[in-house]
Amino acid sequence: MKIEQIIRAIAGTFIVISVLLGYYVSEYWFLFTLFVGLNLFQSAFTKWCLMETILEKMGAQKNCPE
């Protein structure tokens, strides 16, 4: 899996989980949804993503063979 696919999967999972937690547990979880969305938005312009940095430090390769 390419690192971009991993990031999209993680972001999607975070959003779904935080929306469910916001609905069933506390509306403050929607702030986490906002945080993820803002990070996705800023990464589109800056070409920098915190999750990419974290994954690279964990050993994920930027260009994996398919």
Confidence (pLDDT) at 63: 67
pLDDT of residue 64: 54
Residues 6+ apart with CB under 8 A from 39: 11, 49, 50, 51
**Interval 22-63: pLDDT, tens:** 999 999 999 999 999 999 999 999 989 999 999 999 988 776
The values of phi and psi at residue 65, to 5°, are -70, 145
Show Cβ contacts of residue 63 under 8 Å, excluding neighbours closer than 6 positions: 2
Q: What is the residue type of 19?
A: V
Q: What is the largest CA-CA distance in the chain?
A: 42
| Per-residue pLDDT at 21 exceeds 90 | yes
Domain range annotation of the chain: 3-56
- Taking the C-alpha atoms of residue 32 and residue 57, their distance in angstroms, rounded to an integer, is 23
